[in-house]
Chains A and B, each alone.
Chain A
Amino acid sequence: MAEQYDILVIGAGPGGYVTAIRAAQLGFKTAVVDREHLGGICLNWGCIPTKALLRSSEIFHYLQHPKDYGLTIEGKVGFDAGAIVKRSRDVSARLSSGVGFLMKKNKIDVIWGEASIDGPGKVTVKPATKSVQGPPAPAPKGALGPGSYQAKHIIIATGARPRVLPGIEPDKKLIWTYFEAMVPKEIPKSLLVMGSGAIGMEFASFFRTLGSEVTVVELLPQILPVEDAEIAALARKRFEKQGMKIFTGAKVTKVEKGADSVTATVDDGKGGTQTIAAERLISAVGVVGNIENLGLEKLGVKTDRGTIVTDGLGRTNLPGIYAIGDVAGPPMLAHKAEHEGERCVDAIKGLHAEPLDKNKIPGCTYCHPQIASVGLTEARAKEQGLEVRVGRFPFVGNGKAIALGEPDGLVKTIFDSKTGKLLGAHMVGAEVTELIQGFVIAMNLETTEEELIHTVFPHPTLSEMMHESVLDAYGRVIHVKPLSGIHGRVRGEAWWIPALRFASAGMTRASVT
């Protein structure tokens, strides 16, 4: 007799395991199937291990400039690529086993293998044939094995994988995807990064900090294409200052592989052609949904451009079959997947649930400098015909940023000038990924500029810049010469005009580098 579940989730990534926990909380008998690792790409090959890598490179960066902080280091500061990677893998392993613990505590059955849907309510799990790094991963303790399972509701949360460009197929040796880039045996002397989204820029930043000569090629006219153009331009300046070469509006047209290097032909978009030689190439040109081998075609589940079509609460065109997370379409972000999963299960339970407002999903990139944003960019707001007020505040006007030695960056806010609605917030600079949630809360609660202006932000913190940016949009910025607001648009490079005066005596004008 096959096991009978209320809810069976296929895929134990951040979307899948959170969905399973929410289902268990609501009293559903729940199982989650995975073929490779609890926690999915996020915990094992994505968000988390890259943050561990970037932490190593960040500290390495500081150690290279001890004098900036009045410190001295005797001898040479170096790194051990193998040890950096090991630390990153240990972080992933620890969190992955943490997910196993959460499954157990919530009485969720873990089924190990590859799932396919035979029909409404019926799932067959077969042994996995391979894993990302080779042989199938061993099943965690207590997991159920291959077999037939039944569930009233089947939720597909199989995630996504790197997109492959024809002619530039990753070979794991010279042409990498994020899988290989995350576990380098040594740091390549030179690196070509194809694609300047979050994944591409994080690896570009990591390897550049550890000494690689990095070239980034982006098809679109700006790096970090989903970000506000002004923010992306500032980030680009920083990257170039660090020594990266960046081509935008450009395309890798051909890659020739040598013994231990690649030679890429790049159409630079201006009619010219560049030949770039590099030891390794990272292909980071987006991800595609894992919709194959699930039996979707046979069942007639509607898909569109590699993702499953759902109604906003995870429902596909077939009753009893749902999809959430990357496999259900962009934005392909772990936190989007988690929320979609929770809402999907809430709706199954009959609780009040609303589709996720994609405009209120923040996005973060953890390169140096960091980038974080939520809502509309200035360009998108104007495309929509909205009249906007834009506020800006540079890091150089913030006491805490100066104390940290992080004077580069900008907090930009965009308001609807008619209603005071916060349309978007965009940041570049130190720790902005930890700041953005404040604006996300504000947007969710539908605050206007008035509540933000009257909110007390603690001093001295970087968060004060969020406040000042709002003040600037309304012509009342304190710690810098008014940039925007009633005085109109800021011109050209003026964003970094240093403050004329600082709140505390003894603070000198920050030097503009």
Chain B
Amino acid sequence: MPINILMPALSPTMEKGNLAKWLKKEGDTVKSGDVIAEIETDKATMEVEAIDEGVLAKIVVPEGTADVPVNQLIALIAGEGEDPKSVSAAGGAAPAGAPAKAEAPKPSPAPAAPSEPAPAQQQPATTAAPQSAAKPNGGAQGQRIFASPLARRIAKEAGVEIGMIQGSGPHGRVIERDVRAAMAGGGAKAGPAAAAAPATATAPAKPPAPTAPSDAQVKALFEPGSYEEIPHDNMRRTIARRLTEARQTVPQFYLTMDCEIDALLKLREQVNAAAPKDKDGKPAWKVSVNDMAIKALAMALMRVPDANVTWTEGAMLRHKHADVGVAVALPGNGLITPIIRAAETKTLSVIANQMKDFAARAKSRKLKPEEYQGGTTAVSNLGMFGIKDFTAVINPPHSTILAVGGGEQRPVVKGGQLAVATVMSVTLSCDHRAVDGALGAQLIGAFKELIENPMGMLV
């Protein structure tokens, strides 16, 4: 019986994806573990590995196809002793919601392998299967949420949104252990929402808003042929959707402060000079001003824990760690916010190296969903472009985002005397549902204190 390869779900929220590239041709031999295709999702490009062996008999969905629903049949593998030319789909595509078969995305645990397994192949089977294919429960869409009464009660009492929890019970039903796991891991609080990044100097346009003019209306305003139509990729759609949602649902206000960073720049020089070099002469770390801003914001949140929160309808979620998202611009037009988890616990060198790795992988769109989903706050820095001051759009479930401008020498008044200092303006956007003005001011005050007395970040 030929083996169906279905469109895998690469993240819990994924409903469809683009089939970016086939790495195997029809007739190629496929071994377990071979990367056979690349799938492009909202934010990342993922590799699809084969679990079964055989010959790639037929590619059903050609590369470059957009919006392929999860669990749609994308290819067929002919098993041992089967004629690759004569295979046809075994039972057609699985119904949506069925566990993804045959293929496993790299970042998630392998789902169950169907039929005829050799004993050695069994390890990935079973328990992992429902998670990798599960979708969030869909409460947000007003659909029925499948959850046990006990799971509902525990979630309610803990203030956890049950619709955001992946179920591991029969048919994806949310059961007690899922809620307990979500409470322990904080996963449910943050939700599996894709983290679109927010650094925008002006308010974003609002393409998907219900009141927005139709595409035709917009096009009518321009001379035909005077423009080029560039199809949206998934990342662009996600940015548009998420930030529109944020602007429409989050009441935001902004607090701006100037920070003198001469001491910080000096410390940074010392820190970097102290980095040991390897045999090629490469230093073990190179800390940037942005890395120091990440650390300062994380520590400021620890000093003002009431601001390290996420609003939900049921309760305020006060986080134990500061998970700081960092907006990373991608070549062309696009951005993503990988997250430095528990940034308050990490040294500057660790943050610097993690950011270096994130930036590199973000640019090749190889970040895993768990590396950019969730977070409690974010930093967006446009200083390198000479931007003096700007506001950023909050990226839920965060309650704040810090927009960091460029450091420049400005005249300042010190003790009645005019002096010159290197000044960096920062603007904190706050979700007023969770963080009030005075609390926001305390947070940005704590940030300024740390930035201007940066030795505090080393101890």
Contact = CB atoms under 8 A, between A and B. Distances in A.
Interface string A338-359: 0000000011111111100000
Given A313-B126, A446-B148, A447-B148, A350 B153 contact: no
A185 interface: no
A354 B112 CA distance: 12
A155 to B, nearest CB: 12
A169 interface: no
Interface in A424-474: 445-448, 450-451
B119 A447 contact: no
A347 B122 CA distance: 7
B158 to A, nearest CB: 10
A352 B149 contact: no
B149 A446 contact: yes
A309 to B, nearest CB: 17
Contacts of B148: 445-447
A446 B151 contact: yes
A319 interface: yes
Contacts of A451: 149
- Chain A CB within 10 Å — which of B118, B120, B148 has the most? B148
Contacts of A353: 125-127
A226 B122 CA distance: 35
B112 A351 contact: yes
A419 B119 CA distance: 41
A360 interface: no
Contacts of A153: 119
B114 interface: yes
Interface string A399-423: 0000000000000000000111100
Contacts of B157: 418-419
A450 B152 CA distance: 12
B154 interface: yes
B153 A419 contact: yes
A272 to B, nearest CB: 49
A350 B150 contact: no
Contact of A320 (B113, B119, B151, B175): B119
Contacts of A313: 126
B151 A348 contact: no
B47 interface: no
Interface in B192-235: none
B150 A354 contact: no
A352 B130 contact: yes
Contacts of A419: 150, 153-154, 157
B99 A448 contact: no
B153 A352 contact: no
A447 B99 CA distance: 26
B125 A350 contact: yes
Majority DSSP secondary structure for residues of A touching B: loop
Contacts of A35: none
Contact of B120 (A319, A346, A349, A447): A319
B119 A350 contact: no
A315 interface: yes
Contacts of B150: 419-421, 446-448
B153 A152 contact: no
Nearest to B112: A350
Interface residue tally on B, bucketed by range:
20 to 34
A350 B151 contact: no
B115 interface: yes
Interface in A18-76: none
Contacts of A352: 99, 112, 126-127, 129-130
Contacts of B120: 319
Given A313-B126, A354-B127, A348 B175 contact: no
Given A347-B125, A350-B113, A354-B127, A448 B149 contact: yes
Interface string B376-399: 000000000000000000000000
A490 to B, nearest CB: 26
A58 B397 CA distance: 66
Contacts of B95: none
Contact of A347 (B118, B126, B149, B175): B126
B176 interface: yes
Given A445-B148, A446-B176, A350 B130 contact: no
Interface in B138-184: 148-151, 153-154, 157, 175-176
Interface string B407-444: 00000000000000000000000000000000000000
Interface in B281-331: none
Contacts of B113: 350
Interface string B83-116: 0000000000000000100000000000011110
A421 B154 CA distance: 10
Contacts of B126: 313, 346-347, 351-354
B149 A447 contact: yes
Contacts of B185: none
A315 B127 CA distance: 14
Nearest to B175: A446
Contacts of A418: 157
Contact of A350 (B114, B127, B149, B154): B114
B117 interface: yes
B153 A420 contact: yes
B118 A350 contact: no
A319 B125 CA distance: 14
A349 B130 contact: no
A348 B112 contact: no
Contacts of A346: 126
Nearest to B51: A350
Nearest to B128: A352
B176 A315 contact: no
B122 to A, nearest CB: 7
Contact of A315 (B118, B122, B129): B122
Q: Considering residues A347, A352, A354, A448, which has the most beta carbons from chain B within 10 angstroms of its beta carbon?
A: A352
A418 B112 CA distance: 36
Contact of B117 (A348, A354, A446): A348
A9 to B, nearest CB: 15
A451 B112 CA distance: 34
B311 to A, nearest CB: 25
Interface in A367-416: none
Contacts of A320: 119
A36 B374 CA distance: 60
A4 to B, nearest CB: 13
> Which of the listed residues B122, B157, B175 has the most CB atoms from chain A within 10 Å of its own CB?
B122
A152 B157 CA distance: 49
A351 B157 CA distance: 34
A3 B99 CA distance: 34
B162 to A, nearest CB: 13
B122 A348 contact: yes
Nearest to B168: A354
Contact of B115 (A350, A445, A448): A350
Nearest to B113: A350
A352 B114 CA distance: 10
B119 A448 contact: no
Contacts of A421: 150, 176
Contacts of B149: 445-448, 450-451
Nearest to A351: B112
Contacts of A348: 117, 119, 122
B117 A349 contact: yes
Contacts of B119: 120, 152-153, 319-320, 348
Interface string A197-241: 000000000000000000000000000000000000000000000
The 4 closest A-B pairs by CB, nearest first: A446-B148, A446-B150, A320-B119, A319-B119
17 contacts: A120-B119, A315-B122, A319-B119, A347-B122, A347-B126, A348-B122, A349-B117, A350-B112, A350-B115, A350-B122, A351-B126, A353-B126, A354-B126, A418-B157, A419-B157, A420-B153, A447-B149
Interface of B: 99, 112-115, 117-120, 122, 125-127, 129-130, 148-151, 153-154, 157, 175-176
Given A348-B119, A354-B127, 6 more contacts: A153-B119, A348-B122, A349-B114, A419-B150, A420-B153, A421-B150
